[in-house]
Amino acid sequence: MSLVHGRPYLAIPGPSVMPDRVLQAMHRPAPNIYFGELVDMVASIIIDLRRVAQTRHHAAIYIANGHGVWEASVANILNPGDRVLVLSTGHFAKGWGEMARRIGAVVETLEFGQRSAADPARLADVLRADRDHQIKAVLAVQVDTATGIRNDVPAMRAALDSTGHPALLMVDCIASLGCDRFEMDAWGVDVMVTASQKGLMTPPGLGFVFFNDKAAGVRAGVTQVSSYWDWVPRVDPVHFPNHFCGTAPTHHLFALRAALTILLDEEGLDAAMHRHARLAQAVWAACDAWGAAGPLEINVTDPAERSHAVTALRIGAEHGTRLRNWVGETTGVTLGIGLGMAPADTPDWHGFFRIGHMGHVNAHMIMGVLGSIQAGLTALDIPHGPGALDAAAAVMARG
């Protein structure tokens, strides 16, 4: 029998669960898109986006998903033939590199595998070998949503600084912003991209590119940028609609305004970081207990290299899809599929699944996800160790 009827929980790593107030904020007539309330609200949103990114520099808003701002960011930085270095720890950095390649850049990829963070010493070696500074930008994800790896962004900055290499440091925080600590200016990040539908708890459809003055200087040397992707009018509009190269995404903006208030002014960024860390630790504690006597295993071995927004799990091809389906059909929890983890010739998702614990999630929701997985392991006779829910509860008991 199915126990599914009730409030569903989409526990995939984006789109994430949205607060009811975010959804309700969109339930209203459209505002004037030239004057008044909307204009004031966008000004306040830009201030608050900078607070989340911890930057005093520029923030451009696009009507786009994450792929859109991947393209926007490289379109403002690269001329055809420019060289970029991609630090790959899974599916996502590669995708950004592919965007750069398709606009004519020469892309070199440093591969770090799928189970541990990018090694800054190898980055430094490549930068040191690039004596005439051909590499224009280093592209990296803070969190790779496919593997659950969290990269050490300050260590990347240190590698650039220690080798005296002038390349821009460009970081994808699409999965991590609002969940894992990130400080754009203090960490020396030149360009950062993110999107609305993960830690920012807003429907998919808004993307953001943050850039500092060094990146703005590089933009000035780019010969051709399409008018839609050009970030210059977006951050310095002559008329309000230039912010969006046309009609503003009115209702998404109302939603985002509500989400930023919840994140920054009601909970506070530090508290949100703590909540994500603790809930992630609870997930890992449960997974370690299950894995003590069975095939389940957290993909990233070192907890210091794990994201607080998403956990990727290995469970073996015979179990992954069955478990995901059972949990979805019986408990109302949708688990994330595996992405880019299996060898090229095997169906990707069968042996893996992911738990999204990003955004508007709290302790009881995470206990619900873990309890649902526990029920699935039991119902399907998948070997697993005991005490997973106790272990998660013990972590949460620390507050």
Ligand X SMILES: *Cc1c(COP(=O)(O)O)cnc(C)c1O
Footprint of ligand X (CB under 6 A): 14, 65-67, 92, 141, 143, 145, 172, 174-175, 195, 204
Q: Kindly tell me which of 174 and 279 has the beta carbon lying closer to ligand X.
A: 174
The closest alpha carbon to 33, from 253, 248, 254, belongs to 248
Backbone angles phi, psi at 41, to 5 degrees: -65, -40
Chain residue at closest Cβ approach to ligand X: 66
What is the rounded distance in angstroms from the CA atom of residue 38 to the CA atom of residue 146?
36
The closest alpha carbon to 159, from 117, 213, 101, 98, belongs to 117
Q: Kindly tell me which of 299 and 331 has the beta carbon lying closer to ligand X.
A: 299
What is the rounded distance in angstroms from the CA atom of residue 88 to the CA atom of residue 111?
5
Query: Would you say 120 and 159 are in contact if contact means Cβ atoms under 8 Å apart?
Result: yes
Q: How far is the CB of 297 from ligand X (least distance, A)?
A: 22
Q: How far is the CB of 358 from ligand X (least distance, A)?
A: 9
Q: How far is the CB of 171 from ligand X (least distance, A)?
A: 10
Q: How far is the CB of 194 from ligand X (least distance, A)?
A: 9
Q: How far is the CB of 175 from ligand X (least distance, A)?
A: 3
Q: Kindly tell me which of 89 and 331 has the beta carbon lying closer to ligand X.
A: 89
Q: How far is CA 274 from the centre of its chain?
A: 17
C-alpha dihedral (234, 236, 239, 242), degrees to nearest 10? -10
Q: How far is the CB of 13 from ligand X (least distance, A)?
A: 6
Q: Kindly tell me which of 204 and 371 has the beta carbon lying closer to ligand X.
A: 204
Q: Kindly tell me which of 173 and 248 has the beta carbon lying closer to ligand X.
A: 173
Pairing assessment for the beta strands 206-211 and 191-195 based on DSSP bridges: antiparallel
- Number of DSSP helices (H) and strands (E) in the chain, helices first: 13, 14
- Tokens matching residue 332: 């109302």
Q: Kindly tell me which of 54 and 89 has the beta carbon lying closer to ligand X.
A: 89
